[in-house]
Amino acid sequence: MSNSYAAAGVDTEAGDRAVELMKAAVQRTHGPEVLGGVGGFAGLFDAAALKGYAHPLLATSTDGVGTKIAIAQALDKHDTIGQDLVGMVVDDIVVVGARPLFMTDYIACGKVVPERIATIVAGIANACAETGTALVGGETAEHPGLMGEDDYDVAGAAVGVVEADALLGADRVVDGDVVLALESSGLHSNGFSLVRHILAGASLGYGDTSADFGGVVGEVLLEPTRLYTGPLVRVLGDPVLAGAVHALSHVTGGGIAANLARVLPQGSWVEVDRSSWSPAPVFRVLSSLAGSSLESSEGTWNLGVGFFAVVSARTASAVAAAIEAEGIRTWPVGTVSTAPRPDGLAGFEQGAKGVDGGAVRLVGSYAP
């Protein structure tokens, strides 16, 4: 009986092959600020550029993509999950107005299949390039006996920078500000435990073709998360729109109302008008299969709104037009009020995730 690492199920040579396969994609995200290339113990990023900031604040975020990975594994389709990861991590950084600097990733798997790992990382690298983020390092860990050979999970962390006096947040939001909704590309990367539960109850497989879904079920569900960072960084940097955006919210876990409430000041409230948009077919089909209403999933799915921008009423139309010019459908859904809430108004969500922010409720019915 061999007591070698290989006999225990760990293939270090496969790990080396995976690095060689992903190297070119990773290097495409590197500008002159990245030192040392691929393969070091630590990624190096030259922070000399921060000297140009009067008071630089570093912003950081970490996340994964949840059980959406189960669908990628079932279909053996791994070229989109990397974009999902970047969307979940980097798009949280732009919420405070920060420009992303660099990111690292971590992949745990039961068995290193070099081509699969390289495909995942290529997706991460391509999305990093699109958002202006350097992918400076990562780790692939093989866990035989703990995970199945085809199982894997991904996580990442990123760092960005924002000038202190440009920091976005609830303290900038004032009475009369307009709330803009930015369209999502689909489910993004939240609520997939519910999705999988619904499909199991309906005896639908990820590889099944469904006319209601408009194609192969799993492929529709794997629609990658829309990346908002690049467009929003450009809009925030537009001198014509300087100061127009007061707060941003990424609609992820917790749903629509809770994520908007997190970036509003205490005492403020917003009624989000459902009739201003029509949720995409994927949300309607899943709700129908579950025998439930769209409204019942507002705390789980984004239902077509991936981001909110709280902006000055005076420049709301200009901001919406600028975001639309970046290819993201944008529309007004409500107005911030700091007046006392009328008696009898119920159904508001107050803050979330430990933040005692404003109050939000959704009103009306979704457009058909």
**pLDDT for 187-215, tens place per residue?**
999 999 999 999 999 999 999 999 999 99
Phi then psi for residue 58, to 5 deg, are: -90, 135
Q: What are phi and psi of 362, to 5 degrees?
A: -95, 135
**Tokens representing 211?**
């006319």
The domain segmentation of the chain, as residue ranges, is 12-166, 170-363
**Buried-state track 125-146, b at ≥16 Cβ within 10 A, e below 16:** bbbbbebbbbbbbbebebbeee
Q: Structure pTM? A: 0.92
Amino acid at 312: S
Class of domain 170-363: alpha beta
56 confidence band (pLDDT: 50, 70, 90):
very high
| Tokens 């732009």 sit on residue | 94
The whole-angstrom separation of Cα 280 and Cα 307 is 15
pLDDT above 50: residue 46: yes
Q: Are strands 355-363 and 349-352 parallel, antiparallel or unpaired?
A: antiparallel
DSSP character for 246? Answer: E
Query: Exposed, middle or buried: residue 167 (CB in 10 Å: 0-12, 13-18, 19+)?
Result: middle
Query: By mean pLDDT, which of 27-41, 231-245, 250-264, 280-294 is the weakest?
Result: 27-41
pLDDT value of position 22: 65
Assign 356 a pLDDT band (cuts: 50, 70, 90): confident
Q: Which fold has domain 12-166?
A: 60s Ribosomal Protein L30; Chain: A; (3.30.1330)
Secondary structure of residue 155 in the 3-state scheme: strand
Give the per-residue pLDDT at 9.
55
Confidence label for 13 from pLDDT (cuts 50, 70 and 90): low
Tell me what the pLDDT averaged over the chain comes to.
92
Residues 28-51, mean pLDDT to the nearest whole number: 83
Q: What is the pLDDT of residues 96-137, one digit of tens each?
A: 999 999 999 999 999 999 899 999 999 999 999 999 999 998
d(CA 28, CA 51): 25
